[in-house]
Structure 1
Amino acid sequence: MAQNIVIVGGGPAGVVLFNEFGSKLSASEASVIMVTPRPYFTWLPACPRMLVTEDGELEKRVLMPFPDNFNEGNRKVVLSKVVSIHDGEEKAQRFVTLDNGETIEFSVLILAPGSKWDGPLGFPESKEEDLEFIKKWRKEFAEAKDIVLIGGGAVGVELAGELVDEWPTKPVTLVHGHPLLLTATYPDKFRQDVVDRLIRRGVNLVLGDYVDDIIPKDGKITTRKGTDVPADLVISTRGGKPNTEFIRTLGSDVLDDGGYIRVRETLQLVDHPRIFAAGNAIDIPEGRHAYKAARQALIVAKNTVALVRGSDDPKTLWQYRGGRNSITLSIGKDGGACYFDVLWGLMFGDYFASLKKSRGLMIDMVKRRLQL
């Protein structure tokens, strides 16, 4: 009798897993169910540009509908949200509960819930609402006179680049709590290079300082150090938080203090050998990128196939060893910066970044690789 493999999340990890099982497991071995609230995949790295400009109608390409074959053979997409998980000793005691009250039994459960975002990346959960959300942000950006972004990670850097690309004379300020942009995951030399590139593009930087109250008063905000920054639109571009509140139903020890899922090297949850996790919500100390999520998903896929086929000896399962931390940032349509953690650390600028990401935002490559 076919076993149920349930995947929670339709992001990079979830879709990679869905495709892997469709090609590696027969209908007699497993039924594959992906639970996600949206009937489409959203390519987040392209969203800063999509939210700033109408050019190219990017919403038609960035919101990628799941194809019909996602509901054929041994695969099915369930449009819903998981609100709780029960993991018992017997098969009938393993199930997830959906927000409509229905339950789905699982033999293997894979958690790939991704992140929750504030501000422009905090998308709703329907196509109609998403399109209105996109229009709203485009209007706010267009009408704003002084824009301030709070948080100088990849989202803040790329959104600042898109804003000055679209409106070169509009004041855009980026406030970041550290002396250099991004995080210490990357070397100072690269982080300083990103600082220099934004300054050359006309972005105002306030580094090593914080903003506690992001609501403008009298046309400005004031940092902790007392710096007044002109502002009529202030946006949080801090990193996303793990979308894991529903996983607490497994027990208080499944998440760390930051809300990330505790996993073993096999990407199994501690004390839950038939539950795996992958993507931005796991507690592995490395950069959280779509390509990392996809690599983790491939390890989870191999281990899930092994469990389905009766090989549950931990010694036979694959282990995720992490990888090098590389990043490509787009800074407008023709600019950017790249860092590759190989040799002595390779850095590239506008030309390479524009070829790799900035011009096309990797949309066609992602659609092809995810079979969308």
Structure 2
Amino acid sequence: MTERKVVVVGGGYGGIVVAQALDDIADVTVVEPKEMFFHHVAQLRAAADPAWAEKIFFPYDGLLSRGRVIRDTAAEVRPGVVELASGARLDADYVVLATGSTGPFPTRLDHPERDAVAGRLSELHESLDRASGVLLLGAGAIGVEFAGEIAAAWPGKPVTIVDPSDEMFGGRFPEQMRADVARQLGDMGVRVLLGTKLDTAPDVPAGAVRPFTVTTAGGEVLAADLWFACYGGSVPSDYLSAGLASARQPNGRLAVTEHLRVAGQDRVFAVGDLNDTPEIKTGRAASRQAEVAAENIRALIEGGPLTAYEPFQDGIIVTVGPSGGAGYAPEYGFFDAEGASSFKGTFLLDHYRGLFGA
């Protein structure tokens, strides 16, 4: 039997797992525009601590033993065919869409060149070092972790988080976990203003070190000289053919079946941020979805039953600086700072080193 061809579009958290899982049974090609894998979950730590900047890049050449990673961009994907920006065409028996999401700086650093990303992290560190006060918009995981990293690296530097929600993390997760995060931030001198809206956004660009003031809806004037939006994002999918794009939902994500096949398709799968599974979009979820998608492609190749994907219940672990944090998982309950830092303090660097043979 001719070896089946699998094309994985995207070499992020989901794409690398599904590609490696099928490397022994299929002719696997990963299409990824970035020079190296960038472990962006740890990028805020790298911005605060330059010693981390060298730790979070992994070459793709150690990922697969039989397959290949092509540095290119998908221009159009349709069932059975991936057309590349370079003009090349890849025929595929199975396609896995794993192109992730984008977000505002510093939520994402999407430059394809490793040196450019490292330079951006260095510039961010310098900006944080020069700033006399930092304003973060958004009290979700990104805002909380960014505030913790800043406060730990520059003790005493004023950091303020503003969010219109009355609860941190939008009220998700148990009160015990949210209260513990708030306490740790307070102990580090971070001010968290919940249920607070700004009359207008700062009149200086995000990331620029320049004095500004903003006024809350309650009339309080906040002063700082550096600010960032720690929320928002989008799911790029403009490379999809009309047939695949018909599965796109109003939020931009693709509808998938319980087997993670794109709605209406038998041999096109979508994993990670791109699909509409009802769960928090995390690297953990993307990896598990990739495992299930790979199991199902293997079943279609070899014969056998398909595996249904079970979305994760709400759970999260956030760091509050290198030694703090908190979390909650339905199967374990509440994590205090020690538990959270033991799980996430290294951002699973050893796991990713092993994955890439680094």
**Do Structure 1 and Structure 2 share a fold, with TM-score over 0.5?**
yes
Match of 2:38 among 28, 39, 42: 42
Kindly indicate whether residue 328 of structure 2 is the aligned counterpart of residue 339 of structure 1.
yes
1:250, distance to aligned residue in structure 2 (A): 3.7
Deviation at 1:177, TM superposition (A): 2.3
- Residues 278, 296 of structure 1: 8 Å contact kept: yes
Change (3 A) 1:178 1:69: closer
Distance 1:214 1:255, change over 3 A: farther
Name the CA distance, whole Å, in 2 between partners of 1:65 and 1:210.
43
* Alignment gaps of 5+ in structure 1: 88-93
Secondary structure of 1:83's counterpart equals: strand
CA shift in 2, pair 1:69/1:8, >3 Å = closer
RMSD over aligned Cα atoms = 2.1
Kept in 1, the 8 Å contact 2:163–2:195? The answer is yes
Equivalent position to 1:131, from 115, 118, 127 = 118
Counterpart of 1:83 in structure 2 is 75
Distance apart, 1:241 and its partner CA: 2.4
Shift of 1:3: 2.2
Which of 35, 40, 63 aligns to 2:57? It is 63
Q: Give how far 1:239 is off.
A: 4.3
CA deviation profile, 1:71-98 (whole Å, cap 9, x unmatched): x42x0101111122122xxxxxx21122
Moved more, 361-370 or 102-111: 361-370
Instruction: Trace 1:1-372 onto structure 2 (pairs within 5 A).
Output: 1-23=2-24, 25=25, 30-54=26-50, 57-68=51-62, 70=64, 72-73=65-66, 75-87=67-79, 94-123=80-109, 124-211=111-198, 212-216=200-204, 219-247=212-240, 249-309=242-302, 316-342=305-331, 346-358=333-345, 360-369=346-355, 371-372=357-358
CA positional deviation for 1:180: 1.4
Q: Shift in Å at residue 185 of structure 1?
A: 3.8
Structure 1 residue 225: deviation in Å?
A: 4.3
Equivalent AA in structure 2 for residue 21 of structure 1: L
> SS of the residue aligned with 2:266?
strand
Q: TM-score, normalised by structure 2?
A: 0.91
> For 1:308, what is the secondary structure of its paired residue?
helix
Structure 1 residues 276, 62: closer, same or farther in 2, change over 3 A? same
User: How many residues are aligned here?
Assistant: 350
Distance in 2, matches of 1:265 and 1:69, equals 28
Quick check: 180-189 or 349-358, which moved more? 180-189
Once the 2 structures are TM-superposed, how far is the Cα of residue 243 of structure 1 from its aligned partner?
Answer: 2.9
Q: Secondary structure at the match of 2:240?
A: helix
| 1:82-117 Cα shifts (integer Å, max 9, x gaps) | 122122xxxxxx211222222211110001111102
Identity of aligned residues (%): 26
State the alpha-carbon separation in 1 of the partners of residues 121 and 89 from structure 2. 33
- Deviation, structure 1 residue 248: 6.1
Cα 1:249/1:367, change in 2 over 3 Å: farther
Cα gap change, 1:247 to 1:152, in 2 (>3 Å): farther
Which deviates more from structure 2 when the two are superposed, residues 179-188 or residues 75-84?
A: 179-188
Range with greater deviation from structure 2 (126-135 or 218-227): 218-227
Distance in 2, matches of 1:141 and 1:281, equals 32
Question: Please, which runs of 5 or more residues in structure 2 have no aligned partner?
Answer: 205-209
Q: Residue type of the partner of 2:317?
A: T
Return the offset for 1:190. 2.0
